[in-house]
Structure formats: structure tokens, C-alpha cells
Structure 1
Amino acid sequence: MPHPDLPVRVPAMPFLAADVGGTFARVALMQACHDEGRQVEVLAYRKLPCAEFEGLAELLQSFVDSEVRTSVRHGVLACAGHVKGDEVLNDNSPWPIHLAQLRHAMGWDDVAVLNDFEALGYALGNGSVGASRLLCGPAAQAEGPVLVIGPGTGLGAAVRLPIAAGGHVLATEAGQMDFAPGSIREREVLAHLAPHGGYVAYERIVSGPGLLTLYAALCALHGETPELATPEAITVAAAACSDPRAVEAMEIFCGSLGSFAGSLAMIFMTTGGVYLAGGFLHSMFTLLERSAFEKRFLHGRSVHAFLSRVPVWVTEHGRNGVLGAAQWYLRRGVP
């Protein structure tokens, strides 16, 4: 993870970095590395299901007990949502996260927190597409802001500014924006979800649970009983064209994701490209390719010329969250 403005004062001892999602937490034991071309060394790494633990402290302690053979006094968390006072506020968190309690339970001197997509922005916005797959747009990358989007348990987004502007990452709550239907069918779905009007967030449609919501709404509109109970089952059925409601739900999901990504790309003028992050999207790459994603991403009229020059990549989430969190932590410096 090259980073030209690494502060002189970095932790000499290993520290924990955790990327905490609504379903899984990815935890790593990290250490600053001064080898040329590399900044962070991963000493140990595990992906743990949140549902198996009573709280974040128990999950982190399980990792320490099984993987760590040295003293750890510092940690950094990449979490969805934002910090208010001592608490991480996130509607999709599997348990409450209170920083003072966590610091005491782990016996740490310090715990730092950043948004999970802010962490992804630091990892993915460094000019290297790695194992990413090009979905649409030109393969060549230009200098400029980079947008990172990921539908999972919720819908996250962040923007990395170019190096000339400091390379900082702006966290957002873009997933909470009002859903904007792009077709008559989507208007019918929105009316079903909010029959008396009111607020429906994008993440209620464009997320793993959102795909399930779409499927159930479409079944209701057709007067049918839903037969599929998980986003994974809907994705498989859509790929096999074995369930017409699953196919329709996936079409709306992909089209809405395209509109959402295109709108944010316009707002931030992301000439550096757009990353769609997460194993959920990576596993449905073919469905995205043949969907209305690109058409909806490009929008229309004069903005089409700009958006057609913006590359859109699909990438695995993988270790990027913990790597980006560690990069930010080293840049921030340790108290």
C-alpha cells in the first residue's frame, strides 16, 4: 500500500485493523512496513461471521486468542455509519458499538474509527485496479476523484480525492438518499413500499436485503407467494432465468444501481473512475453486464459525454477494508 505522505511517527508494534460489516467482520493483525513499494504488512487475517458473537469485543478477542502471539495495544475500526460521541451509529450493525467499552474490554490504549467505505476509498483509490473487472467505460484511468460504492447489508459510498488535493477520502451517507424510480415498474414498487408516500432510501432497494425486498414487492404486485427467501437464492434464480420475479427484481436492482452510481459520479465529477465493491456484485458480474446498468449510469443529454469517459470497475471487497483502514491509521499517526 504505497503512501507518499506517511508520517514519521508510526506504530512500531503490531495493531489490529477490523472492517466491520452487518454480516461479516474482517480482522487483521497489521504492522507498518518500510520496504520499498509496500507500507503495510498483514501478519494474520480472518473473516468472521458477526452472528456468532455477542458483541464486537468478543469477536475481536476470538481473533486475538487464535491468531495473535504478541502484545496489541492499538486498533482501528472501519464501520458503516458514523461516530456520535462514544457510539458508532449504524442501523445495520449486528450489535451496539461503544468505543470506551471496547477499549476497556480489549485493554487498548487507543481505538480509532473511520467509515467502512472511507477505508475502501484509501485502499482502492490509489490508481491500481488490481483484480477488478471492467464493467463499462474506457479501460484507461484518468487523474481525478474516485468513487467507491458497495451494496451489501446496506449501501455505502465514499469518494477519494486526487493526490494533488491531498488524497483524502470523503465518507458519505449516500445510501440514505431518497430512491428515485427510473421506470413505471419502479414507481409501482415504490408505491407498494410507501403507499402513503414518504421516505424510501436507496439502500432499501439497492442492497442485499433490498434485493429481497424487491422480489417480495414484485410477487405481491403479481398476486404471487414468494418462493425464494435469500438474496443469494434470488441471484441464482435470476442467472438461471428460473423465476420471472427474480429476473425482474435483478433487472430493477441493476438499473437502480446504475442510476445511483451515475448520479454520484456527476456530483463528484469522478474522472478517476467508479469501483463497485463487494463479493455480492463480483459474483453477479455477468448479470450486471447484460443489465440496464450502463444505460442508467450514462443518464442522458449533455452529461452522457462526461459519464461515457468514466470507467466502472467491479472488485472484490476482500482485504481492502482492513488495508485501507490501516493505511488511514498510519497516515493519521498514533497518539
Structure 2
Amino acid sequence: MQFLAGDIGGTNGHVALMRVADDGRGELETLAYRVFPCAAFPSLAELLRTFIDAELRASVSHCVLACAGQVMGDEVVNDNLAWPVRPDVLRAALGLSEVVLLNDFEALAHAIDGPLSASGRHLCGPSRRGPGASLVVGPGTGLGAAAHVPGAPDAVVLTTEAGQMDFAPHSLREREVLAWLAPGGGYVPVETIVSGPGLLTVYEALCALDGKAPTLTTPKAVTAAAATGGDRHAVEAVELFCAALGSFTGNLAMTYMPTGGIFLAGGFLSSIFDLLKRSAFEERFLHGRSVQTLLAQVPVWVTEHGCHGVQGAARWYVRHHAPMGITSPEGAAA
């Protein structure tokens, strides 16, 4: 039986037609895969319809979608999605009998058992994974994270809304940026700074603090200017972003002690890998004092997001939620 699997973020929607291979091992097969810009579609149903019309030769009735945000009842709660996501609307619009939702970083964490763990570039720490928990962390349109705890017969995945934690400044410059963001005090989530839009916000804040008019208007423009060194505020913004990401990731590591590795996911980080490697990320990740000995045992990689969210959603579905007729990778009915 074939089924649809998707990874729907704030910027792009990754959609695939999947099935479990009839090879005796139950490996997942990707029959078709496309990436769509979410802003080009008036609804998620239209995005999925475009994929279905282009790629399907036979009808499908089951769909699993990993979405940015948390599933609350029959909808996804997240401010970064382009439109509301409701399974009942999708079922009616597309003639599906089942639409199942899960968190996008929950899906990425399930992909750690697949090709995700072998696809990254080493950033810091040991070069090999240990036996403990793993984390997947990703700044994109927002900031997501999930934990993967190995176990038998299946790993346990813990979802989080870590990107909504309060931002804690480390340097005096970060305190100035925080004061610019919230001059009257109050709550500022980490993803306001540690995300793609957050990088642009940091750049604008630094310009304002120095009495300069910003000339760059997109996160991509900021990273490009930082790479060439052509704009000192862009350089500083990327440095502050990378340092803040290090502190945030180190805080999560102190919570889970993920000796199985941390995977920083997303095309955004992959595009600035050299800048990240030269930044204060590792210094801020290690934090200092006695905890540094513990955090030094945690390997960190940067990996492309790519199709891993789709693969993770499909792996979760066939193991835990698939109807009769779709067989799990272990060969048992899911």
C-alpha cells in the first residue's frame, strides 16, 4: 500500500509518495519526492493536490504530515505556518480516509535511526556517537528541537517547544540587543534571535544600536555579506547568532546529556557551516566550569534537513499508526 508523507515547515513543504518495499526487510521506498514553497499556495490542500496531480498514477487514502508546531486536538498550533492545518479539511478536500499529524522535529528525531545520522558534517566534540540519547535541533523559520532516547523495541522520541524558551543573553552586546527588542522588559523567546528571521532581526538591532540604517533585507543577504566581510553589522549578526545557538544547544545538552550526538538540521546552517565552524559556537556550547567535562563528550554535526523529515514521518507512521496492509520496517503489521 502506498501513502503520502510530508514535512510542512514555515517556508517549504516536502512531500513524498512512500511505500514499504516488498524485499523481506521492509525498507521504505520513496516513489516520488518534491519540495514546494509554501507561500506559493493558498492552502496546504492545494499544495498536496499539486503533488498528487503531478506524481500519482493511482489513488491513495492515507497521509502522514510532520508540521512545524504542536498537534493540539484536530489542529496544529504554530505561528510560523503559512496557513491553518486541519486533518478534517484535508480529508474532505483530497478524498483521504486518514490524515495523521506529528511535530516536524519529532519526525526528524525518528529519522536518526535512518540516514540522518550518517549525513552530517562534524562541527565539534567526539567524531563518533556514544550510546546515549540524541538531539536534533534546527533554526529555520522558527527554532525546533526533539530528543531521541534509544530503547527496545523502539526508541522513544520526546517533542519540545524549546524555541519558545526565554532568551538568556551572555555578552554585553546581547544584553543591548535584548533591551532593543524589549525596551520595557518582558518575554523574548530564543527563536526571536536563533532562527532565519531572527538573524535578520539581530542585524537590524545592531544597526539601530550603532545609529546606522540597515541595508540588507533578508537572512540570505546577511549571511552572504558576512561571508565576504563586506558589512560589519552582518558579520557581527552572524557571530552573535552562532554564539547564541551554542548557548541554547548547550543548555539542551545539559538537560538530556546526548552522548548519542546532536544534529543541527537545516539548509540554513549548512549554508553557513564555515562561519559556524569559526564562530564561538563551541566555546558557548561547552559553557565552562565543571560541566565542560561532560559536554565535551557530546558530538555535534550539521546536517541538511532535506528529505529527512519526510523519511522520519514515514518511519513513525509505519511503526505506530499505519493501517493493516502497510507493514512496519521490522516486518510486523503496524
Same-fold call, TM > 0.5?
A: yes
Q: Is the 8 A contact 2:45 2:90 kept in 1?
A: yes
Tell me which of 207, 231, 243 is aligned to 1:243.
231
Offset of 1:300 from its aligned partner? Answer: 1.3
1:29 paired with 2:17, answer: yes
| Paired-residue identity, % | 61
2:29 alignment partner, SS class: strand
Out of 247, 255, 275, the residue aligned to residue 259 of structure 1 is 247
Deviation (angstroms), 1:298 = 0.4
Task: Give the 3-state SS of the residue equivalent to 2:66 in structure 1.
Answer: strand
Q: Give CA deviations for 1:210-259 in whole Å, capped at 9, x if unaligned.
A: 00000000000000000000000000110111000000100110000000
1:112-127 matches, cutoff 5 A: 112-125=100-113
Distance 2:101 2:198 in 1: 27
Determine which of 293, 300, 319 is the counterpart of 2:307: 319
Whether 2:180 is the aligned partner of 1:192: answer yes
Q: Find the counterpart in structure 2 of residue 160 from structure 1.
A: 148
Aligned mates of 1:36, 1:244 — CA distance in 2:
57
Q: For the structure 1 residues 36 and 269, does the alpha-carbon distance in structure 2 shift closer, same or farther, using more than 3 Å as the test?
A: farther
Matched, 1:56 2:44: yes
Q: What letter corresponds to residue 92 of structure 2 in structure 1?
A: H
Confirm or deny: 8 A CA contact 2:129 2:299 kept in the other structure.
Answer: yes
**Alpha-carbon distance in structure 1 between the residues aligned to 2:321 and 2:78:** 26
Structure 2 gap ranges (5+): 324-334
Asked if 1:92 corresponds to 2:67, the answer is no
Which residue number corresponds to residue 309 of structure 1? 297
Shift of 1:125: 4.5
SS at match of 1:141: coil
The CA distance in 2 between the partners of 1:174 and 1:243, in whole Å, is 31
Deviations 1:268-325 (A, max 9, x none): 1111010000010011100000000000000111110011010000000111000000
Equivalent residues of 2:116, 2:308 under 8 A apart: no
1:1-335 mapped onto 2 (5 Å cutoff): 13-35=1-23, 39-125=27-113, 129-164=117-152, 166-335=154-323
CA shift for structure 1 position 71:
1.2
Deviation per residue, 1:55-79 (Å, 9 max, x gap): 0000000000001111100000000
Check whether the contact 2:76–2:86 (CA below 8 A) recurs between aligned residues.
Answer: yes
Structure 1 residues 58, 201: closer, same or farther in 2, change over 3 A? same
When residues 320 and 311 of structure 1 are mapped into structure 2, their CA distance, relative to the original with a 3 A threshold, is same
Structure 1 unaligned runs (5+)?
1-12
Equivalenced residues, count: 323
Give the aligned residue type for 2:17.
L
Q: Distance in 1 between matches of 2:56 and 2:129?
A: 39
Alpha-carbon spacing, 1:66–1:148, altered in 2? closer, same or farther (3 Å): same
What is the distance in 1 between the residues matched to 2:163 and 2:153? 25
Q: Which residue of 2 aligns with 1:10?
A: none
Q: Distance in 1 between matches of 2:116 and 2:278?
A: 26
Instruction: Supply the RMSD in Å over aligned alpha carbons.
Output: 1.3
Contact 2:106 2:159 (8 Å CA) reproduced: yes
Q: CA deviation at 1:133?
A: 0.3
Q: Normalization by structure 2: what TM-score? A: 0.94
Moved more, 222-231 or 77-86: 77-86
SS at match of 2:225: helix
CA contact (8 A) 2:5 2:18 kept: yes
Residue type of the alignment partner of 2:246:
G
Partner of 2:329: none
Structure 2 Cα separation of the partners of residues 233 and 287 of structure 1: 14
1: CA distance, partners of 2:35 / 2:113: 23
Contact 1:125 1:146 in 2 (8 A): no
Report if the CA contact (8 A) 1:155-1:206 is conserved: yes
The residue identity in structure 2 corresponding to 1:168 is V
Q: What's the CA shift for 1:99?
A: 1.4
Q: CA deviation at 1:164?
A: 4.3
Distance across 1 between alignment mates of 2:138 and 2:127: 20
